[in-house]
Amino acid sequence: MTGVKELAYVVYEASSLDDWEHFAVRLLGMQLAGKTADAIALRTDRKAYRWLVRRGPADDLVASGYEVADGAALDALIERLTAAGVEVTEGDAALAASREVDRIAVTADPMGNRVELVTGFADAAAPFHSDTLLGEFVTGAGGAGHQVLLAQGVARETYLEFYEGLLGFRISDRIVEELAPGAVADLIFLRCNPRHHSVAFGDMPHPKRTHHFMVEVTDVRDVGMAYDRCMDAGQPFEMTLGMHPNDHMFSFYVRTPSGFSVEYGWGGLLVDDDAWQVRTLDRLHSWGHRPPEVVADLLARTSGKDAR
């Protein structure tokens, strides 16, 4: 089945563009691709941008752009969505130009998240350059990275019908872990290329549409250096260094100026479709990924000092 081939870009709405520029460029190592009074565009590779952050009160995800192979594949996808009763609108030339794509069709997933299906996502005129990275961001055939979205109480079979049944995603695996008596984390991970997952979903208490976006780097030293930069800058952490059991990502989680998180990682697993078997795992983290306040308390106890 012809479907999406990558998560090409994301669009966020943020109340402070200055804070976002500092966070993304100085702390994470992205390149500022463009800036106006109302928006910034951020690069992580040869593409014209991967993140658009526009001024607004939401401080949340407002659109996800998924690229398909060509116009014929987009036509087939629109036809499939329409036949299933999903409303799809062909974007006009102005919207396509603003996203720097050849064509764009707009729809929404069952949670109400705006989904933009695009062809011909443009490259930038100049090579990517970061003032801080030793290596590069991992993109290419795997797209911009991955994001974890909130199910918002929508039944799993309903959103899987959209993402798997219509957009052509494939299930990589599932993690179900009892975090505390009566509190269970249940996430499902979906891929559309060799990257272990481009999108995942969980139904958990969270004030945003998105829990986090993951960016991956080629040099493990860049994870440690970004960790130090974020710590030195006083940027709030969600989780300290650790590793996941399913995609093997070595990473940390840091809060964006908008309150959701960025996972900053290295060493993500690539999936071989011919050999892959879907599993259900019983833990979210192989090791680490502890809340910073827990780590602070443990370190204080080992040093004989009270963290409070």
Task: Tell whether 140 is covered by a domain.
Answer: yes
pLDDT tens-digit map of 187-244: 999 999 999 999 999 988 889 999 999 999 999 999 999 999 999 999 999 999 999 9
On whether residue 1 sits in a domain, the answer given is: no
Domain extent at residue 207: 6-125+134-294
Residue 305 placed within a domain: no
User: Stretch 148-165: mean pLDDT, rounded?
Assistant: 97
Q: What is the CATH number of the domain that holds 111?
A: 3.10.180.10
N- to C-terminal Cα distance for the chain? 56
Indicate the number of domains in the chain: 1
Could you tell me the pTM of the whole model?
0.96
Is the residue at 233 inside a domain? yes
Mean pLDDT rounded to a whole number for the chain: 96
Residue 1: what pLDDT?
Answer: 61
User: Residue 301: inside a domain, yes or no?
Assistant: no
Q: Is the pLDDT of residue 306 over 80?
A: no
CA 201 to chain centre: 11
Q: Is residue 218 part of a domain?
A: yes
Check: CB of residue 190 under 8 Å from CB of residue 197. Answer: yes
Which residues make Cβ contacts (< 8 Å) with residue 246, sequence separation at least 6? 172, 173, 175, 189, 196, 269, 279, 281
